[in-house]
Structure 1
Amino acid sequence: MNEPWNPYDVMPAARSADPAAAGARIDALPVSERWKRRFRLIAKAGGPRLPNLGALTFGERMAVMFSVLGLLFGPLYLLCKGLWRPALAYSLIIVAVGFAALMLGLEMLARGVGYGAAVLCANRACALYYRQRVLGERPWL
């Protein structure tokens, strides 16, 4: 149980997003207390899709829905967290849309794609990491 976590190991089958069942799994995870707190908030909000987001305070919503490191480093942050599939998917989408915008002469749109990608990674990082670590999924997007 105290073995170091390897993001490339075979993941178990996906588990339910039941907050009561997720609590025990979250406590057993080899992650920092900060991540455990975020995971508990995501479970309280109903899982990675956050259907009960209104039950959280504004500060709790920001902790769950926004990652500063995800904003600053984008897909590289996802890659460092072992989320190579979303990092690859987002990178390919960013390059394709940015290249298409440049070929059409829309330099402002190409620049906006970069900013939008950073915000997307900041917004999705916590939910993707929750799906990977707590639910045992291997998410693409």
Structure 2
Amino acid sequence: MSNAPEFTELPAVWQRRFAFFRQYGPVGSTPEAKAAYRALPLGQRMTLGFNIWAFLFGPFYFLVKGMWRKALTLLGVSVALGVASVLLGVPDSWDRALAAGYTAAIATVTNWAYYLHVAEGSQSWNPLEGLRRKGPA
């Protein structure tokens, strides 16, 4: 038996996410994590690897979840991308594609970032914290 917390105060969807992250780490970080992720049903893969609320609300979702440092980082990147887009005269279609890609990227890192925030007490400013792929030992 392990002493790992069960996070019973969290909704069931977060408990499943946390259980996966506790056992395998972030999705795609190791061959074992990739295999376990691919073995899940499609619905569970979607809720594990993508957060729709973060996609819709971006950095503000991070604020709601208490990750204000990461939220400020993401907001700063959002502003920088917007300013660069205007200064470079990026066409509207490219600008929309960039915005959609950026919010999709936020949605894919949110669940892992929240796990680190709750389970490990992370106070980092880096929303990509701990996502580097691990190579063979």
TM-score range normalised by the length of the shorter chain = 0.7 to 0.9
Q: Distance in 2 between matches of 1:123 and 1:99?
A: 24
User: For 1:1-141, what aligned pairs fall within 5 Å after superposition?
Assistant: 21=2, 24-25=4-5, 27-28=6-7, 30-44=9-23, 46-48=24-26, 50-51=29-30, 52-56=33-37, 57-59=40-42, 60-108=44-92, 109-140=94-125, 141=127
Q: Distance in 1 between matches of 2:71 and 2:112?
A: 14
Deviation at 1:33, TM superposition (A): 2.0
| Compared CA separation, residues 29 and 84, structure 1 to 2 (3 A) | farther
| Compared CA separation, residues 133 and 29, structure 1 to 2 (3 A) | farther
Whether the 8 Å contact between 1:102 and 1:110 is mirrored in structure 2 is no
**Which shifted more, 131-140 or 69-78?**
131-140
Query: What secondary structure is seen at the aligned counterpart in 2 of 1:76?
Result: helix
Whether the 8 Å contact between 2:7 and 2:15 is mirrored in structure 1 is no
Unaligned 5+ runs, structure 2:
128-137
Q: What RMSD over aligned residues (CA atoms) do the two structures have, in Å?
A: 2.1
Query: What secondary structure is seen at the aligned counterpart in 2 of 1:43?
Result: helix
Whether the 8 Å contact between 1:42 and 1:64 is mirrored in structure 2 is no
Q: Distance in 1 between matches of 2:14 and 2:76?
A: 28
Query: TM-score, normalization: structure 1?
Result: 0.73
Deviation at 1:29, TM superposition (A): 5.2
Whether the 8 Å contact between 1:53 and 1:61 is mirrored in structure 2 is no
Q: Distance in 2 between matches of 1:95 and 1:41?
A: 33
Query: How many correspondences in the alignment?
Result: 119
Query: What secondary structure is seen at the aligned counterpart in 2 of 1:24?
Result: coil
Q: Distance in 2 between matches of 1:117 and 1:106?
A: 15
| Compared CA separation, residues 111 and 48, structure 1 to 2 (3 A) | same
